Amino acid sequence: MTALPLAIRTVRWMIWDTYRQSLASRLLWVMLGLTFLCTLLCLSLSVTGDEYSASHPFELPMYVPAAEAGEEVRAEGIRVVSGEVSLGFGLVRFPVGRSRADAVHWFQVWLAGVLADTVGVLLALLWTAAYLPQFLEPQSISVLLARPTPRWALLTGKYLGVVLFVGFHAFLFIFATWFSIGLKTGIWEVRYWFALPILLMNFSVFYAFSVMLAVCSRGVMVPLFGTLLFWVLCWAMNITRHTFLTLEAVEWSTLTPLLVEVGYWLLPKPLDGSGLFYEALRAEGVAAPVPEWEAACARGAVVPELSVLSSLLFGLVVLVLAAWEFRRAEY
């Protein structure tokens, strides 16, 4: 058997082994349970109110909720918004901000942009941090290394297995919540699906860094906490770079902005990923964006294609370094 077919078979087997590992660790059922709870939350959503469309392209979006509208407001001709958002089958109620569609947009931004893309990605990174260290334990890896299989194929297969596992649950989450929201409100927002590639991109890049830490340390704690700290560092670098664009250059040394710009382009950009989803969903006027992101976009300093490409390139480089370290490691 030649090297390439053997490597392909090894990658396929490692992907299947990751699925079996998720069953043994009960992680499969935990993630399915969380998706079920979020789907139940979407099924508890109820939105009442009128649709809004400006009568003139330059009309000012002046409106107030019905509870705050007095006679003076109505006399001025300001539109009074009626309607209510209900969650938890009526346990939580609050007035609609502008229209039914805007209320649904707000809920989708919160659900996919905050809950899934931030909390969900971090939880997935923490829960899968032990997968590779368990695979690298001497009693497990020695059996695999005894076969004539390329080491890079073993590592790539394990990485792809985890990414595909998380990608499957991300697809299931997006589909279940999108379908439930559409079923309850009649608003089928296709742009909500943009959350899937952005979520998967963020996870795959940071999991590549977790793989490198696992190969170098062969322990669980280093990739567990190291990846979390690295995510915080990347978020801080991302927001610091955009903040610098709103400050006067004379307040800093000439070297500081250059270092921040280099760090921004070298590291992954989780804030830019969230901002791209915000723009894809056209959430202006529905949910407030991060001010630094908004300022950077206003200056034309955010290039979505380059931001995504540089983040993916970082993940690829880190994964190659991990494969090289795994190849030269002794077991």
Q: 228-270: per-residue pLDDT in tens?
A: 999 999 999 999 888 887 775 445 556 777 888 899 999 999 9
* Rounded Cα gap, residues 95 and 81, in angstroms: 9
Model confidence band, residue 127 (pLDDT cutoffs 50, 70, 90): confident
What is the DSSP code (8-state) at residue 85?
E
Q: What is the DSSP letter of 218?
A: -
What distance in Å separates the CA atoms of residue 279 and residue 284, rounded to the nearest whole number?
A: 8
185-209 residues labelled b (16+ CB within 10 A) or e (exposed): bebebeebebbbbbbbbbbbbbbbb
Q: What is the token pair recorded at 19?
A: 């699925």
pLDDT at 331 over 50: yes
Nearest C-alpha neighbor of 230 from the set 210, 211, 215:
210
- Report the residue count for the chain: 331
- Does the pLDDT value for residue 65 go beyond 60? no
Helix spans in the chain (H): 3-24, 27-43, 71-75, 100-108, 121-128, 131-135, 138-145, 151-185, 195-217, 221-244, 255-266, 270-280, 291-298, 304-328
CA-wise closest residue to 80 among 101, 62, 104: 62
pLDDT band (50, 70, 90) for residue 81: low
Q: Tokens 């609609």, residue?
A: 96
- Considering only CA atoms, which of 125, 325, 118 is closest in space to residue 210? 125
Please tell me the distance from the alpha carbon of residue 278 to that of residue 108, in angstroms, as a whole number.
10
pLDDT of residue 102: 77
Tell me the domain boundaries of the chain. 3-45+99-328, 52-98
- pLDDT of amino acid 287: 60
Tell me: the pLDDT tens digits for 176-212?
999 999 998 888 988 899 889 999 999 999 999 999 9
* pLDDT band per the 50, 70, 90 thresholds, residue 129: confident
Q: For residue 265, what are the contacts with CB-CB under 8 A and spacing of at least 6?
A: 310
The partner residues of 79 in beta bridges, in order of sequence, read 63
> Which whole number is the average pLDDT over 31-48?
90
How far apart CA 52 and CA 97 sit, in angstroms, is: 11
Q: Which two tokens stand for residue 292?
A: 């630094």
Report whether 97 contacts 50 (CB < 8 A): no
DSSP symbols for 35-64: HHHHHHHHHT-EEEE-----SSTT----EE
Alpha-carbon span 305 to 132, nearest angstrom: 31
What value does the mean pLDDT of the chain take?
80
